[in-house]
Amino acid sequence: MKVIVDTPIWSLVMRRRGHPENEVTVSQLGALVDEKRIAIIGPIRQELLSGIRDPAHYERVRRQLRAFPDTDITLEDYEAAAGLYNRCREKGIQGSATDFLICAIAVRHGFSIFTTDGDFHHFATILPIVLYELQ
């Protein structure tokens, strides 16, 4: 099963390396890369690249991410994301448009989601998403 790697995971690995508490996440992402199980979407790529002040660092991260092609996003994905947002909102759970787009794409493709964003745990109580568990 492919795994959509969310922005916080990429950020830990590419922008905040060297913290001992992040080594398990770094190791796990490396294993997913080796197994060719990584999925990424354009909005995650954009979030990750946004705010990098140093041009050399920006280029390094941009080049590293180029190894992972974007999963296509369809009209139906955007509509499904809005529907998922509405389902969660009805239950008092909020999230970003990008978060629900990630959920919609994960559902359509049968991908799991690798994230440290706690909102996804709330979404998973209502939505048919699978959160990736560290091995």
Asked if 39 and 1 count as a contact pair (C-beta separation under 8 A), the reply is no
Q: Out of 3.40.50.1010, 3.90.950.20, 3.40.1440.10, 3.10.450.240, which CATH number does the structure's domain 1-135 have? A: 3.40.50.1010
Cβ-Cβ contacts under 8 Å for 68 (sequence gap 6 or more): 38, 39, 40
Residue 17 has pLDDT above 90, yes or no: no
User: Average pLDDT of 74-99?
Assistant: 98
| Domain map (residue ranges) of the chain | 1-135
Question: Whole-number mean pLDDT of the chain?
Answer: 93
Task: Report angle CA 2, 28, 127 to the nearest 5 degrees.
Answer: 45
Residue 94 is predicted with a pLDDT of 96
Using CA atoms, how far apart are residues 30 and 129, in angstroms rounded to an integer?
23
Name the residue with higher pLDDT: 18 or 59. Answer: 59
Cα 112 to Cα 35, 66, 87, 120: the distances in Å are 15, 21, 20, 11
Residue 15 is predicted with a pLDDT of 59
Residue 20 is predicted with a pLDDT of 65
One-letter amino acid identity for 79? E
Look up the pTM and report it.
0.93
Using CA atoms, how far apart are residues 123 and 95, in angstroms rounded to an integer?
8
Going by their DSSP bridges, the two strands 3-5 and 130-131 should be labelled as: unpaired
